[in-house]
Amino acid sequence: MGSAPSRRSVIGGSAMAALGGMLAGFGAAPAAADAGQTGQPEGQQGGTRQFYGRYQAGILDEAQLHAQFVGWDVIWGEGGKKEQLRALLRMLTDDAQRLASGRGVLADTEAEMAADPAQLTLTVGLGQRLLDQVGAGKNAVGSMPEFAGDKLDERYGQSDLLVQFCSNDPTVLAHAVRAVGKNLRGLAKHVFTQRGFIQPASGAFRNLFGQLDGINNPAGDTRELAVFGTQENPSWISNGTTLALRRFEMDLDAWDELAVSGRDFALGRRQKDGSPLSGTSVADPVDLDAANELGLPKIGANAHVALARPGSGDEVIHRRGYNFVDGERSGLLFASYQRDARTSFIPVQRRLAAADALNQWLTPVGSALYAVLPGIEPGMYLGQQLLD
C-alpha cells in the first residue's frame, strides 16, 4: 500500500473545525440535535442497502436491529500469502455483494433465505497480525492494549479476519453467517461469533442497564469525519477506518440493587429519558461545571459521561454497538469506528477503565482491533486498494 498517514498528525483545517464543533457540542450546543435522527429509524426497514461505494456499508449507516460479529483466523496453504488472502477476500466480496442484493452465495444450499436481505450489510476488517503476514498495512492499527479491569476470555480475542454482519431479520442474518462460514471452511478457522440486538430509539438504543446508549454519537458530516478522516488525514488507508470491538459483561443482579438516583449519578444521565444531570432534556449539553445549591457538581467527575467526553476533536468516535444475551450472561457488545483508535478510542477507554463509576458493574471479557477495508466499485474486491 501507499504511505500511511502519520500517526501523530493533527487533524487540520476544516476537519479540526468540524470535530471541534462536535466537541463544543458537549459543552455549549445540544449535540443530540446534531443527530437529527428522530422518528422511525430507517434501520427497521426491509429491502437492500448498497454494497458498493466509497466506504463499506454497515459503518456510517443506521444500525440494523441484529448483528453478528464473526472472527476467523486464516489457515495458510501452499503458495504466497498475499495471493491466498487475495483469493479469500475475492470470495468474501462475491459472497457479500450477492447476499446484500438478496441472492444466495455460490454453492448456496438455502438461497431462498437470502431473498429479502432486510438491510443486510457485511463489513470486513483485518487484524494487524494478518496484515503483517502479507506484508501490507504496516502499523495500520496495531493491537488493542490491555486496559485496567480487563478479564479477557480468549474466546473473544483478536482474530485475523472480522466480518460484521447486520440485518433487521435474524433469520437472514443466520443464513448469511452460515453461507460465508461454509465458503471459508478450510481457508479460515472460526474464532468467535458474537451476536447482538438493539431497538433504535431517537438515534440511540436502550442497553441492558436500561440506559439510552449512543445519545452523543456524532452524526452526518461529523460522523464521516470522525470515522474516515479527510483526504489529507485519512485513516490507515483512504476510505478505510478502524473498528474497536469490546465485549462488556454486565452484572445485572448487582445493578438491580442500585436505586435510580445512584444509577443516574454513575452514568451522569437520567435513565428515564437520557437527559444529562446538568440539564432537563436529552438534547441539553453535558455541562461538567454545573453545580447544585450546595456547590457540588451535578455530574460527578467519575460519571461515565464525564470520562467518555472527548478531550479533543481527535477523540471523537462513532459507536455502533449492540446488546447481547448469551445464556446466563448479558452485556454490551461495544463496537466503535474511528479514524485512528490510537488517538481516540484507546485514550478514552484508558480514562474509563481507570475511573468510570460504571466499572463496578462491567467486566470486559473481549477485546480486538481491526483495520476496516475501504469501499469498492463493481469489479473490484475488498482489500484491492491494499493488496494490488
Report the interface residues with another protein, using CB under 8 A.
70, 77, 87-88, 90-91, 94, 105-107, 109, 177-178, 180-187, 189-190, 193
Nearer CB in complex with another protein: 18/176: 176
212: Cβ contacts below 8 Å, ≥ 6 apart: 201, 202, 204, 205, 206, 269, 271, 273, 274, 282
CB of 98 to another protein, least distance (A): 9
For residues 178 and 350, which CB has a smaller minimum distance to another protein in the complex?
Answer: 178
- Specify the residue, 149 or 181, whose C-beta has the smaller distance to another protein: 181
- Phi, then psi, of 329 in degrees rounded to 5: -105, 140
Q: Which helix (H) or strand (E) holds 355?
A: helix 345-355
Contact 381, 93 (CB under 8 A): yes
Report the nearest approach of another protein to the CB of residue 169 (Å): 17
Nearer to another protein, 165 or 265 (CB): 165
Least Å distance between CB 62 and another protein? 25
Cell reading at 321: 454497538
Judged by CB, which is closer to another protein: 39, or 186? 186
Amino acid at 338: Q
Least distance to another protein, CB of residue 54, Å: 25
Nearest-approach distance from CB 94 to another protein, in angstroms: 7
CB of 52 to another protein, least distance (A): 18
DSSP-assigned beta bridge partners for residue 324: 331
Contact 269, 211 (CB under 8 A): yes
Q: Residue 366 and residue 374: Cα distance in Å, rounded?
A: 25
Q: What is the DSSP letter of 297?
A: B
C-alpha distances out from residue 46 to 64, 167, 173, 198, 385, Å: 10, 9, 13, 16, 31
Tell me how far, at minimum, the Cβ of 381 lies from another protein, in Å: 11
Q: Which is nearer to another protein, 155 or 272 (CB)?
A: 155
- 377, 80 in Cβ contact below 8 A? no
Task: State the Cα–Cα distance between residues 205 and 65, nearest whole angstrom.
Answer: 10
DSSP 342: G
| Backbone torsions φ then ψ of 195, nearest 5 degrees | -100, 145
Under a CB-based contact definition with an 8 Å cutoff, are residues 199 and 44 in contact? no
- Identity of the residue, 4 or 91, whose beta carbon is nearer to another protein in the bound complex: 91
Q: Which is nearer to another protein, 195 or 270 (CB)?
A: 195
Q: Smallest gap, in angstroms, from Cβ of residue 379 to another protein?
A: 10
Closest to 120 in 3D by CA, of 177, 82, 40? 177
Q: How far apart are CA 62 and CA 205, in angstroms?
A: 12
